Structure 1
Amino acid sequence: MRWEEVREQFPDEWVVCEALASRSEDGYWYIDEVAVIDRFDDSKIAMKRYYELHREKPNREYGFFHTSREHLQLREKWSGVRGPR
């Protein structure tokens, strides 16, 4: 699912996602396609769910984001859970 679709389907919510398609450009990590795993009103609960998933499958690229975010663009240095490609 593209981020624009996630924002339309889950307005003003926290979503826990798995990155399905992403790319690196100019020091940023862009997430082009996600699978929504869960949604929450509370960021603390979303973060807890993210950590649960990350512990279960640390090699997968999970994240939690608020749908008020226009783009899924992160500085590469903050996406340290990513391994070599």
Structure 2
Amino acid sequence: MKWKDVCQTSPNQWVLIEAVQAYTNEDGERILEEITPLKKFSNSLEAMREYQALHREDPKGNYMYFILTVKSLILLRKNG
């Protein structure tokens, strides 16, 4: 699923996603080409707790959570 599709199906909600296809470009931006929405939440605390639990179970998973008021998404990766 693409970011815009998730935004259309879950506007103004917190959502936990898994990045299925992603890469980091030459500018250090994380590009999410294909994502899978896993669960919707009414607030950030619930989303963060679910993210943390999922990350403990699968530390190598590419999980993230966002509020779906964002129309486009650019993730910047910190060095170090």
Q: Calculate the TM-score normalised by the size of structure 2.
A: 0.91
Question: What is the CA-CA distance between 1:21 and the residue it aligns to?
Answer: 0.9
Question: What is the CA-CA distance between 1:72 and the residue it aligns to?
Answer: 2.4
Question: What is the CA-CA distance between 1:50 and the residue it aligns to?
Answer: 0.4
Aligned to 1:44: 45
Question: What is the CA-CA distance between 1:14 and the residue it aligns to?
Answer: 0.3
Cα-to-partner distance string for 1:15-58 (whole Å, 9 max, x where unaligned): 00000011211111111211111001111000100001000000
Q: Which moved more, 1:24-33 or 1:53-62?
A: 24-33
Unpaired stretches in structure 2, ≥5 consecutive residues: none
CA distance in 2, matches of 1:52, 1:35: 17
Unpaired stretches in structure 1, ≥5 consecutive residues: 81-85
Aligned to 2:6: 6
Aligned structure 1 segments of 4 or more residues deviating by more than 3 angstroms: none
- Please show how residues 1-85 of structure 1 align to structure 2 within 5 Å: 1-25=1-25, 26-77=27-78
